[in-house]
Structure 1
Amino acid sequence: MQKSKSTLVKVPSTSSTAQRGLVFSTILLLIVIVGMVLLALYLVKLDRTITHKFEGKRWDIPAKVYSQPLELYQGASVDNDTIKKWLELLNYRSNKSYDRTGSFHKSGSTYYIHTRGFTYSANDIDPEQVIKMSISGGEIKSIQSTQQSKTGIIRLEPVNIGGIYPDNNEDRMVVSLSDVPQPLIDALISTEDRGFYEHKGVSVRGIGRAIVNNFTGGSRQGGSTITQQLIKNFYLNSDRTLKRKANEALMAVLLELHYSKDEILQAYLNEIYLGQNGKRSINGFGLASQFYFNQPLNELRIDQQALLVGMAKGPSVYNPRRHPEAAKNRRDTVLNNMLTMGKITQEEYDTAIKKPLGIVDKAAEGKNLFPDFLDMVKRELNNVYYDDDLKNEGLTIISTLNPVTQLAADKAVEKKLGELRRRGSKTKELQAALVSANPETGELVAVVGSGSEFTGFNRAVDAKRQVGSLLKPVIYMTALESGRYNLASSVDDSPITVELPDGKTWTPKNYDSRDHGFVPLTTALAKSYNQSAVRLGMEFGVGTFAKQLRRLGVKEEIPSYPSVLLGSVNLSPMDMLGVYQVFATGGFRTPIHSIRTVIDDKGRILQRTGLNTKRSIPPDTNFLINYALQGVVKEGTAKRIQSLGSNLNLAGKTGTTNDYRDAWFAGYSGNYVSVVWVGRDDNKSVGLSGGSGALPVWEDYMSRLKLTPVSIPEPEGIEWLWLENNSGKLSNERCANARYLPVLSNYLPREASSCALNIYQEERAREQMAWQQEQSRINRQRRQEGLDIPNSEVIEEDNGSERRADTWYERALEWF
């Protein structure tokens, strides 16, 4: 019998299996714990990222620059043209019912204006109001408002003239949720996230619907909530990766744990990208409203609000300027969503879809209306603020610009420069600069300094050119202040040769190449004679001339050579504006400035420009030089501007440089001091003098404004006397060459003209004879009455007696 073999099988023990399971479970647990810790750390990191940006500085907000407001009050000098232009610049709409902000109605001479209001600072806020105003004869006859005004002044809000933008080229106008119309919010939620107020950041239903639609070939949907869209735009990017989507969902939940729905919605409304304006992006509905409609959000119709909401899906695809049909279809879809959700009625829907898009062809927002003036503001700001603060901190700058005045300057330069350029080859490349200010406040109101496109070269301040005869008044001012000369004094306009330090000589000539001999001081200035100016200037010295310029606010280094007396010093139109501002205000210098106030994003005033007026030259001296400058207009090289009104008492001075390279005019009315330069950038001759080149531009500009007369108060230290013209001696009104002129009280003339002396002696003799006859009559009467005659009163009728022993000057001065 054969023996069978058996196979032994080794069975693992129960304890060994359990041990291995325990190790595996432990490793798995550790992995889970580590994963949870890492996830927790990652969530903490995400959470910090969210709160840091959301609670800190969310955006780089550009600085916005505004003009001065238009002040309205009874008696204010405001005409219909000014109101019309201002309302146009503010994009106000004509509406008979004027029931919405930004609307107005004109009935005859009466305006009804529904203002938008404006925040000047936290403590200076103009609420929206309705103004009723009647204008007649260039002034406001009556004005009423729905809001009480403590000052009696109602301000029509300033015009936005441009901005200073962040380096990231993002532009936005931050709005609070209370400023956003409810229909826009309804449209947004109805279209983008109907469960916004129910979900916790992520909508499971929305994700499921998107998956189904994407896999079944339906319309492609993302399923993102408004919160997720905000996370994507605010913190992440548009990459289509699983990691980015996971981060988006996690951060959306975290965001909703920290902040309310209203806070999230407000951030979304200001963050969303809605188009492109050149290099700058249009972010937020506040800015988009201005960019596409030139109106603030609260003035948009429901259909216009729906258009903006529709663009959120794809600003390029639904750009109403490039793709109007697609934009309209998308708008109508949004309106239908609102109808479905019960946010608008069927009647409102039917009305809205019939409306045209209503997009403006060119957006005013983001466009620098007056780039030359904006450049002046930036330069002034850069002296005080860091560049990043200007670009990123959302500052509001109220400038001194008067938009109506600026438009007048633009039109005047464009018109007259065009005429001058057509004269010939020399003037074909002609350029110009114009600067204008309020002389009393120093506020710059208009600047023209570049061509049609601003390149950064602003001739108003960057073009340092020889100023020619604009500086001659400084020479004559020095002569008058010294007391050696008065307005009727004689000055020598014969040839003069000046020896220079290097041994060479300089022989200036008059522009008419003629010598005029001895001429009255006022004539020499009015006719702008060079030889007399040089003689007078050399009498007091070039050093004295330079000191006088510094007194007048000129900061540039003044050369020491004699030709500087005829303006061979490079100065800008802004430099000359400062000099003539002093002449226009009775000798008081107020620095020219372009900024009134700077306000931060909290409404706090960071800077307020106040009057910093200082006496620059004695008022009595300035009174005389002002009189002489008025003579330039009445009878000199600027006589043509008498056409603006002889009652305005305008004053000013032409300037022309060698070979007719530069043409200047600087002058002033009571309310504007303005300087014009005309020339070529290459410094070639233009063949134009100050009178033929710059003066026509100045005249055209000032003719577009409402001017007030020059009326400088007569200061102490001035007396009016009859003087002999071309000698400065005392005279009499009956003398042929006599002028009634102001004279410094401290330097009254001590000589009289022969004509005046003869008349004086005749008058004295006549008076003496009459006195003697009267005394004789009295004595006869006393004798007849038996009264004694005092010895002191005995009159010898045959011999004239002298009066008491005063000096001739003391006795004669009052008579003269």
Structure 2
Amino acid sequence: PERTLSRKINEAILSVIIEAIYEKDDILEIYLNEIYLGQKGSVSINGVGEASSFYFDKPVKKLTLPEAATIAGLIKGPNHYSPYVDKSRCKDRRNMVLKAMNRKGWLTDNQLKAALSAKVEPAGFKLQGNKAPYFIDYLSRQIETLYPTEVLNSLGLSIHTTLDMQVQTAAELALEKGLARLEKSNPALRREKVEEKLQGAIIVMQPKTGYILAMVGGRDYKASQFNRITQSRRQPGSAFKPLVYLTGLEEFTPASRLSNDPKTYMINGKTWEPKNFLPSDEFNVSMREALAKSYNLATVDLAMKIGLEKIVNTTTGFHFSTPVKPYPSLALGAFEVIPLELARAYCVFAADGMQSYPLSLKDVTDENGNLLKQKHMNIERLTSSSKAFIMSSMLRSVATEGTAMSLINRGISWPVSCKTGTTNDFRDAWFVGFTPDILALVWVGFDNGDSIFTTGSAAALPIWADLMNTIPQYVSENWYKMPAGVVQATVCSESGLSAHKGCPDPEKEIFLKEKDPTVFCPIHKKPGLLDKIFNLIGKDTNDSKT
């Protein structure tokens, strides 16, 4: 709470009233029964009774002197001095309490000596087998945001969540199997210490409503309650590129040509030479192909053409809370994001340009079944339905002709828009895929940033595919209907402009209505009158021979 003069005055008045009503021993008892003394997952430890059980698995009356001093030492910073966090720091704090007791004459020198020599030995705690623990943690925080405290203090409340336990179970199993598969295929990924093991996270959402169907914030909640979906900050790598291409639709089209040639850029007086992940002999590519095959050089070329400040503005408008700077490396996702915010950004493409709020609960009712009023969370339009449709189409090409072509070999035969992501030195592997009905994001990596020696398509994509194959109720052949603001035209595959009969390889492409190509391809010779006559003569000659 904010420290204000009025608050201090109110606290002073309250303390006077309490002292007038209760004896000092009663006040101390109330304090000791309510004081915050640590955290057990999403549940707070309040009072010395709970703390005694949590830390030493015994009632208060059976605590030894060193154990009692340990709990007393926690008051200043329960999670900082917790024996479950740092035994050495906890022991130093305990010893400080014991020495203070000795100075006050409450302990003899012999008692102090014996207590100081005692080891800090917490009982160890086992979290209850709560289902979807990371989701429950997120829910407990969100409900406090959406409902006033006085409402939540009411008895008999019923909380209706967005969680789908079948999806949650499928996500947990897919992550467990996927990480085990990676460790088996590459022994260098194995770690002995629990806190150093290979990690992963999954978020599954309904893009139009923002409902969170499943949330897996880590490999093992008992080992780590750190939620990598909501709390970690990781570089998205190529998973960020769709926001660059969305910004590019202001000036360009999916057929526009981009340079895939190596270039050198100057950043703060230093040279920067981006490279493609794999060598390519395609030096001039369309926007669609550049995104599908995740070409770094072409993406940076697009970013420099449209302006980095515009990409920053797009990113800020999509409600990323992490700082973004207008550096060329921004185009390649060289900044940190919170995975939940990245998933929310992709929901815009999947939801016709609208961005919903990530929700873990639908509503809360009182004991009489009356619906309680919650804080309203806005749904915003961040881009037009036409641009969202084009982006979904371009991201569908990632699966049909790009870095996620392996999906078909993993049983994903239905339409899906998606993007892979890999960061420098293989520190992070990403895969985000969606349909009109469901969106799922998968991240794999080490908490300390160690390399996982593989890509998003090899590490995260298989986990996503395993998950989707086990929830067929969310899979369908349905796809987006082309909005009125989008048109289809035939273009030359080499120039990206309107094709004529001289273009050897014409192809269909979609455009914003206002950017429908009207200029014909200048690369190939358009058949003239003589060409048409010769063609007709040749055709007649061939017909007579047959």
TM-score (norm 1): 0.47
Q: CA deviation at 1:651?
A: 0.6
Q: CA deviation at 1:163?
A: 9.1
Q: Could you say what secondary structure the match of 1:708 adopts?
A: coil
Q: Could you say what secondary structure the match of 2:284 adopts?
A: strand
1:725 alignment counterpart:
493
Q: CA deviation at 1:744?
A: 1.4
The answer to whether the Cα contact below 8 Å between 2:501 and 2:526 also exists between their aligned partners in 1 is no
2:169 alignment counterpart:
407
For 1:316-331, list aligned pairs within 5 A.
none
Q: CA deviation at 1:475?
A: 1.5
For 1:166-205, list aligned pairs within 5 A.
167=46
Q: Could you say what secondary structure the match of 1:475 adopts?
A: helix
- Residue from 434, 439, 448 that aligns with 2:207: 439
- Residue from 232, 236, 247 that aligns with 1:478: 247
For 1:636-675, list aligned pairs within 5 A.
636-643=402-409, 648-675=414-441
Q: Could you say what secondary structure the match of 2:294 adopts?
A: coil
The answer to whether the Cα contact below 8 Å between 2:411 and 2:465 also exists between their aligned partners in 1 is no
Structure 2 counterpart of 1:721, one-letter code: A
Alpha carbons of 1:683 and 1:752: their partners in 2 closer, same or farther (altered >3 Å)? Answer: same
Q: In structure 1, what is the Cα distance between the partners aligned to 2:528 and 2:225?
A: 67
Residues 597-656 of structure 1: CA deviation (Å, up to 9, x unaligned): 122345432245878432111221222111110000001001111246676220111000
Residues 717-740 of structure 1: CA deviation (Å, up to 9, x unaligned): 211110111311111589432111
2:130 alignment counterpart:
368
Alpha carbons of 1:696 and 1:366: their partners in 2 closer, same or farther (altered >3 Å)? Answer: closer
Q: Could you say what secondary structure the match of 1:460 adopts?
A: coil
**Greater relative CO, 1 or 2 (CA 8 Å, sep 6+):** 2
Q: Could you say what secondary structure the match of 1:597 adopts?
A: strand
Matched, 1:750 2:512: no
**Segments of 4+ moved more than 6 angstroms:** 162-166, 168-171, 278-281, 386-389, 760-766
Gaps of 5+ in 1: 1-44, 46-59, 61-161, 172-275, 282-364, 767-816
Q: In structure 1, what is the Cα distance between the partners aligned to 2:230 and 2:436?
A: 24
Q: Could you say what secondary structure the match of 2:491 adopts?
A: strand
Matched, 1:700 2:466: yes
Alpha carbons of 1:683 and 1:430: their partners in 2 closer, same or farther (altered >3 Å)? Answer: same
The answer to whether the Cα contact below 8 Å between 1:405 and 1:705 also exists between their aligned partners in 2 is yes
Structure 2 counterpart of 1:488, one-letter code: A
Q: CA deviation at 1:588?
A: 1.3
- Residue from 205, 209, 227 that aligns with 1:458: 227
For 1:384-423, list aligned pairs within 5 A.
384-385=146-147, 390=152, 393-423=155-185
Q: Could you say what secondary structure the match of 1:750 adopts?
A: coil
Alpha carbons of 1:166 and 1:424: their partners in 2 closer, same or farther (altered >3 Å)? Answer: closer
Q: In structure 1, what is the Cα distance between the partners aligned to 2:529 and 2:470?
A: 54
Q: CA deviation at 1:710?
A: 5.2
Residues 630-688 of structure 1: CA deviation (Å, up to 9, x unaligned): 00000100111124667622011100000111000111023111111000011011101
The answer to whether the Cα contact below 8 Å between 1:730 and 1:756 also exists between their aligned partners in 2 is no
Structure 1 counterpart of 2:219, one-letter code: G
Q: In structure 2, what is the Cα distance between the partners aligned to 1:728 and 1:435?
A: 37
Alpha carbons of 1:758 and 1:542: their partners in 2 closer, same or farther (altered >3 Å)? Answer: closer
Gaps of 5+ in 2: 1-20, 22-33, 35-40, 60-126, 191-196, 535-546
The answer to whether the Cα contact below 8 Å between 1:521 and 1:726 also exists between their aligned partners in 2 is no
Alpha carbons of 1:384 and 1:442: their partners in 2 closer, same or farther (altered >3 Å)? Answer: closer
Alpha carbons of 1:163 and 1:433: their partners in 2 closer, same or farther (altered >3 Å)? Answer: closer
Q: CA deviation at 1:166?
A: 8.6
TM-score (norm 2): 0.69
Q: Could you say what secondary structure the match of 1:715 adopts?
A: coil
Structure 1 counterpart of 2:176, one-letter code: E
For 1:333-732, list aligned pairs within 5 A.
367-385=129-147, 390=152, 393-428=155-190, 429-454=197-222, 455-482=224-251, 485-500=252-267, 502-514=268-280, 516-607=282-373, 612-643=378-409, 648-706=414-472, 707-709=475-477, 711-732=479-500
1:122 alignment counterpart:
none
Q: In structure 2, what is the Cα distance between the partners aligned to 1:394 and 1:426?
A: 52
Structure 2 counterpart of 1:461, one-letter code: T
Alpha carbons of 1:586 and 1:389: their partners in 2 closer, same or farther (altered >3 Å)? Answer: closer
Q: CA deviation at 1:400?
A: 0.4
Q: CA deviation at 1:760?
A: 8.4
Q: CA deviation at 1:590?
A: 1.2
Q: CA deviation at 1:369?
A: 1.1
Q: Could you say what secondary structure the match of 2:246 adopts?
A: helix
2:27 alignment counterpart:
none
Q: Could you say what secondary structure the match of 2:185 adopts?
A: coil
Q: CA deviation at 1:516?
A: 3.3
2:98 alignment counterpart:
none
Higher mean C-alpha deviation, range 542-551 or range 458-467: 542-551
Q: In structure 1, what is the Cα distance between the partners aligned to 2:154 and 2:188?
A: 46
The answer to whether the Cα contact below 8 Å between 2:235 and 2:337 also exists between their aligned partners in 1 is yes
Once superposed, what is the RMSD of the aligned Cα atoms? 3.4
Structure 2 counterpart of 1:524, one-letter code: A
Alpha carbons of 1:584 and 1:415: their partners in 2 closer, same or farther (altered >3 Å)? Answer: same
Q: In structure 2, what is the Cα distance between the partners aligned to 1:377 and 1:734?
A: 61
Residues 401-432 of structure 1: CA deviation (Å, up to 9, x unaligned): 01111111011011111111223343223110
The answer to whether the Cα contact below 8 Å between 1:426 and 1:685 also exists between their aligned partners in 2 is no
Q: Could you say what secondary structure the match of 2:344 adopts?
A: helix
1:94 alignment counterpart:
none
Q: In structure 2, what is the Cα distance between the partners aligned to 1:540 and 1:443?
A: 34
Alpha carbons of 1:515 and 1:489: their partners in 2 closer, same or farther (altered >3 Å)? Answer: same
Alpha carbons of 1:664 and 1:602: their partners in 2 closer, same or farther (altered >3 Å)? Answer: same
Q: In structure 1, what is the Cα distance between the partners aligned to 2:516 and 2:377?
A: 35
Q: Could you say what secondary structure the match of 1:741 adopts?
A: strand
Q: In structure 2, what is the Cα distance between the partners aligned to 1:384 and 1:585?
A: 23
